[in-house]
Structure 1
């Protein structure tokens, strides 16, 4: 007997990973579940969201199974999932013979392997008579997760991460999916303002003397505060902070905010690294070693160039926070969040705004 499985993945990282797995899944399913032949079809498609920012698993599964005559449907998304105070790896609906895997919860050094294990495990749950082989049970996916009942719509059970380690894995996955390094080209105006301000450190000897006097520890502290200042400014000015509401529980809001802070911090750190390299090269090109030594009153080496670039880059980063004000809120959000996370935030805000408008009309009426 041949079992057909449909894999549907969100565009972006989910589809990139899932597309690669589709070819090896039939053999992995057969060897781990000990059943007949498997046929796996892959499709890249944006999974729809309801008004609550959730993916309607049952509705999607029924539509796709009828259209393509699949026995099982497994969806893969980069939308983080939480339920009952736990981070969700996957939701399972035996009624609709479908499952939804959340990629952020599979974060780690071997995301591809964990996704493969997750799909095999989900297939075993959907094919209730089957069970993963002992070889699969020894792998990394099984140990930190457990199966819990779930009263959510179209969901019979959830595979959740256990304990603080699970939350840490989910947070890491959310930050990774946001791809913080994209902030470097996206915040070009902030980077330009930072570079212009850092250039003052290259041309003013008072900055050279100050950098020469400061210790490496003090310079590192200045760097941290400069990056933190830009992070706070970007989050506050562009309204990136998630507030706990009826639609967003407090624990979930804390998780989203931690991911935002981590993403923006790493993104600004990438901008700072670029700025430090550029400023160091500019200092080496503009300031001759004899002239720098004369200004400092002692022999100058590469360490002196690096220290003045270090301080200049920190000063430029603070100015870059103000320069980021010229970026549109949409541009900052595109640089900070994945497409799916931007869609979730937009739908949540629209729903909250509608509720506020309805409440206002009820009061006026």
Structure 2
């Protein structure tokens, strides 16, 4: 039986985790979907340089060199970079003549990311292995396609396309390494999916307890505020709109304070393109937003339990001047107010957090590399000016 070696080359962090998770099952899926008469050998490799290059040809060139060094038949790269072709975001590229392809993970959005990427790997592998004619649309039923190089027991049927929101473009006539490209159709939807995908790659839910000073100071401040009668009286006087406005002020204020106190907002430079800069900046904003919102919900839960246990109705009536027994709505309003005020004051605590620690939490691997490159560029410019 013929053996076919396929290398999955990934950038560090999330792409590497996905590649490792899929390694054990890809062989069977490729056998069922593409060719059962060959033995599929899957190997994985993590390469930091894959997560740095922003040029498509540069990435595929590096993938091709790695493929030759490891004596693989095919190589597919998983990158955490958003890739562009003109103004369009690209989900996947393939160079049939060089037997290499790349898949941009952020374009798949959030969960179920692994299932989508597994389907995309199979489809890109089919592009390389079967060498489909450019005039045929790969989004169609694969059984109707005519491969240039026929294989025995070729694909019977593929699952629903994970690239269904893309258009397949033949770029073999252009002066690029790419022969086939999948570009996203909707500019608005593609940008939203990329932002969600890049935020997911940052894994904000794992960073909650890394902001321990924010959580600790927010809880301490909220507890301190609760010993005064003024917040209690305000809680029964505020309308829902005021509660919502105060909550938004607390969340947005904390996000903005963290960004500018730790210099997380990438500024315009001669080297950095605006479209990359905007994507990274908004990813940082959404990542921090997710962390702050999770922290807010956690604080709300703690305060709700504390006030429900330690504040009897008689005490609530005495401090607020109510003539009736307080309902759950009044308790809810008090907890909401204390949580918002505590979060807003707790933002100060993030100012003393370690700068590198915050950047590790809110930046992906590529974003950190980009930040350091820009810092070096600015240092060189300053040295030249002297």
TM-score normalised by length of structure 1: 0.87
Residues 152 and 213 (structure 1), Cα distance of their counterparts in 2 relative to 1, 3 Å cut: farther
Residues 221 and 286 (structure 1), Cα distance of their counterparts in 2 relative to 1, 3 Å cut: same
Preserved CA contact (<8 Å) 2:31 2:40: no
Residues 241 and 144 (structure 1), Cα distance of their counterparts in 2 relative to 1, 3 Å cut: same
2:277 aligned with 1:253: yes
1:120: which partner in 2?
Answer: 122
Preserved CA contact (<8 Å) 2:316 2:326: yes
Give the 5 Å matches for 1:325-336: 325-336=351-362
Residue 189 of structure 1 aligns to a residue in which SS?
Answer: helix
- Candidates 77, 82, 85, aligned match of 1:75: 77
Greater displacement, 77-86 / 48-57? 48-57
Shift of 1:124: 2.8
Residues 335 and 31 (structure 1), Cα distance of their counterparts in 2 relative to 1, 3 Å cut: same
Once residues 49 and 204 of structure 1 are traced to their aligned partners in structure 2, the CA distance between those partners, rounded to angstroms, is 56
Residues 16 and 50 (structure 1), Cα distance of their counterparts in 2 relative to 1, 3 Å cut: closer
Give the 5 Å matches for 1:53-132: 56-58=58-60, 60-127=62-129, 129-130=131-132
2:199 aligned with 1:175: yes
Residues 314 and 180 (structure 1), Cα distance of their counterparts in 2 relative to 1, 3 Å cut: same
Preserved CA contact (<8 Å) 2:6 2:72: yes
Shift of 1:208: 0.8
TM-score normalised by length of structure 2: 0.83
Residues 182 and 23 (structure 1), Cα distance of their counterparts in 2 relative to 1, 3 Å cut: closer
Once residues 195 and 168 of structure 2 are traced to their aligned partners in structure 1, the CA distance between those partners, rounded to angstroms, is 18
Greater displacement, 157-166 / 27-36? 27-36
1:350: which partner in 2?
Answer: 376
Once residues 171 and 251 of structure 1 are traced to their aligned partners in structure 2, the CA distance between those partners, rounded to angstroms, is 12
- Candidates 144, 154, 177, aligned match of 2:166: 144
Greater displacement, 122-131 / 313-322? 122-131
Residue 8 of structure 1 aligns to a residue in which SS?
Answer: strand
1:271: which partner in 2?
Answer: 295
Preserved CA contact (<8 Å) 1:57 1:98: no
Residues 299 and 196 (structure 1), Cα distance of their counterparts in 2 relative to 1, 3 Å cut: same
2:332 aligned with 1:306: yes
Once residues 126 and 297 of structure 2 are traced to their aligned partners in structure 1, the CA distance between those partners, rounded to angstroms, is 46
Structure 2: unaligned runs, 5 residues or longer: 144-156
Greater displacement, 99-108 / 35-44? 35-44
2:346 aligned with 1:324: no
- Cα RMSD (Å) of the superposition? 2.8
Once residues 54 and 348 of structure 1 are traced to their aligned partners in structure 2, the CA distance between those partners, rounded to angstroms, is 17
2:15 aligned with 1:14: yes
Preserved CA contact (<8 Å) 1:194 1:319: yes
Preserved CA contact (<8 Å) 1:148 1:160: no
| Larger RCO (CA under 8 A, 6+ residues apart) | 1
Structure 1: unaligned runs, 5 residues or longer: none
Give the 5 Å matches for 1:159-198: 159-163=182-186, 164-198=188-222
Once residues 131 and 64 of structure 2 are traced to their aligned partners in structure 1, the CA distance between those partners, rounded to angstroms, is 22
Deviations 1:217-245 (A, max 9, x none): 32112101110111111112211112343
Once residues 35 and 147 of structure 1 are traced to their aligned partners in structure 2, the CA distance between those partners, rounded to angstroms, is 28
Shift of 1:265: 1.2
